[in-house]
Structure formats: C-alpha cells, structure tokens
Amino acid sequence: MEEKKNTMPLLGEAFPELAVQTTEGPMNLPCDLKGNWFVFFSHPADFTPVCTTEFVAFQKRYDQFKALGCKLVGMSIDQVFSHIKWLEWIKDVLKVDIEFPVVAANDAIAMKLGMLHPGMGTNTVRAVFIVDPEGIVRLIMYYPQEIGRNIDEIVRAVKALQISDAKNVAVPAGWPNNELIQDKVIVPPPADMKGAAKRRAGEYDNFDWWFSYKSKDA
C-alpha cells in the first residue's frame, strides 16, 4: 500500500484548486476569491476551547481584514452540520456572529495542504495560508493544537505584504513598532557601486549603504 504523504504548496506557488462545501454553500478555491487577498486557516475541531477563542478573535478583527480587501475562510475536518451548530453556539452563548465561511474538509483536502497532524488522527493543525489576489501563497504559519494563534499578527502580515508589493520594500521585525526604525520600511539594497555611493551621499535615511529606510508613504 502506498504511504499517504502530507503535501503543501510552497511560498510563491499557486494555492491548490479545491472544490469545497462550506457553511455558506459550495466554493471553488482559489478562483471564487480571485482579485481578493484571503486568509485560509484550519482548526483541529469544532467545539474545542482553543479553536473557539480563535474564531472569536478572527471575527473581532473581521472589519480590519475587510478594510484590507482580505477575505477569511476557516476549515476543519468536521461536517457542515457540526460547523453550523458550533457557529450557532458561539452566537448564542458568546454573542459573536461569525461572518466568514467555514469549510467542511475531508482527508484528501487536508492532505493537499499538509494540514493533517501526524499521530493526531484526522485532526488538522492550526495552519494559516495568506493568498494574494492572483491565488499565490505568500505566507504560511503552522501552530500545534495546544497553542492558539495571535490574530493581530495575521492582520499585520497582510498589511505588510500589501505594503511590500505596493512600494517594493521590505518590512522590518515588529513593524510598525520596530525598535530601530519604528514604522518605516526598508529599501532594497543597491545593485552596484554607483548605487552604494548614492546611498552614502544621503539618498535615503540609513545606517549604512546596505541598510536604508524610508517612510511607508514615500
């Protein structure tokens, strides 16, 4: 018998084509979301405490994602009726109305994304894929079952990717609260000696010719 292997798209590759059932009806990913950034995230199981805290946290930041033109799509290997009942529970008990679809996946879908946690049966890991408007995977985060994600970091990552694309810059650690350059962004290093000389002459703020930075709005 051929051994099943987890596979996953790499950074810069296309998000796999998936025909899925969700709490808001059938979807074809990524084509149904073409033209939008989206965050596709998995959780181990419905009706579990850590996953519940994550879904509430995602919903509390729903408007922030919306302002970035970024859709949210959740997923676990639970049936749609389980997702619906869980979302109803969250609304009734926690007074939070989940506004994004949740995919009812199967093992085949989870295997395409490398989401099955070895030794944990059919539970999926806490995976996050940030996908750009062309359907390309731009960032991947994986967490174990016992550790909940920081949703503010996911918002920050979407913002950073969008700024990096729009301005052709790199984004420093902890942006927009970096210890060295605060909310500024990093200019790509020069490609030749003439470019290095221009940096030394003050083309940008810098610590040295290879570490130049500017306002994110410049």
Catalytic residues: 51
Report the C-alpha gap between 163 and 151 in whole angstroms: 19
Structure tokens at 172: 């420093």
Report the C-alpha gap between 139 and 215 in whole angstroms: 24
Report the C-alpha gap between 51 and 146 in whole angstroms: 10
**Kindly report the CA angle at 150 between 13 and 33, in degrees rounded to 5?**
40
Instruction: Give the closest residue to 129 by CA, choosing from 140, 116, 145, 119.
Output: 140
